[in-house]
Amino acid sequence: MFGWLFKKKTEREKLELEYKRLMVESYELSKVDRTASDAKVAEADKISKMIDELDAKAAEVQ
């Protein structure tokens, strides 16, 4: 009955949320501190690569 409510997030979903959070933080920092903003973008880029690796592994399995 409550299966949809308590669904666990996949690793990809967790990484996507982290990526989005970092990009929003980067945008907010870009108005004040460009260096910190660039650091957040670099972190987000690492997360994006991790998502791509997960997708590649999933494609290999299928």
The domain spans of the chain are: 11-61
Categorize the per-residue pLDDT at 15 as very low, low, confident or very high, splitting at 50, 70 and 90: very high
Q: Crossing angle of helices 11-30/34-61, nearest 10°? A: 160
pLDDT digits (tens, 9 = 90+) for 28-59: 999 999 999 999 999 999 999 999 999 999 88
Long-range contacts of 54-59 (CB under 8 A, 24+ apart): 54/11, 54/12, 54/15, 55/12
Categorize the per-residue pLDDT at 2 as very low, low, confident or very high, splitting at 50, 70 and 90: low
- In the chain, % helix, strand, coil (3-state, to 5) comes to 75, 0, 25
Tell which wins on pLDDT, 8 or 13: 13
Tell which wins on pLDDT, 61 or 23: 23
**Alpha-carbon span 24 to 54, nearest angstrom:** 23
**pLDDT over 90 (residue 9):** no
